[in-house]
Amino acid sequence: MSRVHDALRRAEQMLDESAESATPAGDSGELIPNEELGTAETGSSVDAFAPTISVPGLMRSGANGLQIDPRTFLARCKTIPFRPVPEAHLINPDQPHEGAAEEFRSLRTRLNHMQSQQNLRLIVCTSPSPAEGKTFTACNLALAQAQLELPVLLADLDLRRPVAHEQFQCDRTPGFSDFVLGERSLEECIRRVEGTNLYILPAGSAVRNPLELLNMRPVRHALDSFRKVFNWVIIDTPPLLFSADANLLATITDGILLVVRIGVTSYDSVVRAMQTLCENNVLGIVANGARAGELYSKYTYYYSRAEKTGDDADGESREDEEVDDSPVPGRPD
């Protein structure tokens, strides 16, 4: 039996026994540092799930769930340099005219418009099968959103095969699983990417049964609390047709982006993936793997013409000037 199951069972037993004898601090929802676990300092305004009852291996908040003070929480997160691996193909904020950057800004604009019309902050980014680009999409969408003024969280909840931390070359631990199991405080697990408004929550230590961990009550508390701190929480999950993790998270978040790969994902896979979802909250489908030449040539034509017009010393129109609109070699997907 896994340590996740043991912790969950002990927590539920102790919660039942103490339901009628909760302390005043527990009733108010304030967090009490758990000195036995050594995960926070006394008097901190933001803590992990420090329980009013000492439960080995699990930390929780009071009756109102996890309480986070956004004024101090973000400042206490560790900062890491922005140094993505080249093969990750993450968008570069210093090169805003790239075709891929434009596509993710377009996706960002559509999501922000939807957010203005409904309560939309937590979204799951998944795919029907592996190797279709869900992590690529989640990371780049998070970077695009982080270019705006408000903080954005990229949470890697693919506890089976996490790779988001590799894209940014940061440590996998401490991370989400360490936080939920009460081994680390939340601010120890979240990293801020230097020079951006992007925060990363890696998957954390490996667990034997990820689905059991995702079913634990602190997971819901954490996701609900993130709404108060981050403008967007973009969650990377395992593929829909290979585990139930994404289906579970779909029921406690605001929407799903389904990533498919052109020439790889079959129509039958998309249909079966849609059928597995418990709720009809699919925000849209992202098509990954477009031909690089087709994508970049239109942006190259537009920007090259605009730059040439702007550099005209005489201020004359250069509409008739011949412009090289040949496709720009694109990066492999």
CATH 3.40.50.300 range(s) for the chain read 78-288
Taking 70 as the pLDDT cut, the residues of the chain under it are 1-66, 96-97, 278-280, 292-333
* Residues 221/65, Cβ–Cβ less than 8 Å: yes
* Residues 303/97, Cβ–Cβ less than 8 Å: yes
Amino acid at 258: L
CATH of domain 78-288: 3.40.50.300
Q: How far is CA 277 from CA 90, 119, 160, 224, in A?
A: 29, 20, 19, 21
Residue 192: beta bridge partners?
79, 199
pLDDT tens for 284-299 read 999 998 776 655 555 5
pLDDT confidence of residue 151: 95
- What are the backbone angles phi and psi of residue 184, rounded to the nearest 5°? -140, 155
pLDDT tens for 206-250 read 999 999 999 999 899 999 999 989 999 999 999 999 999 999 999
Joined tokens for residue 167: 């894209």
CA nearest 281: which of 120, 103, 106?
Answer: 120
Sign of the C-alpha dihedral, residues 288, 292, 298, 302? Answer: positive
Q: DSSP alpha helices (H): ranges in the chain?
A: 3-17, 24-28, 70-73, 99-115, 134-146, 164-167, 176-180, 186-189, 210-214, 217-226, 245-250, 267-276, 292-310
pLDDT confidence of residue 165: 95
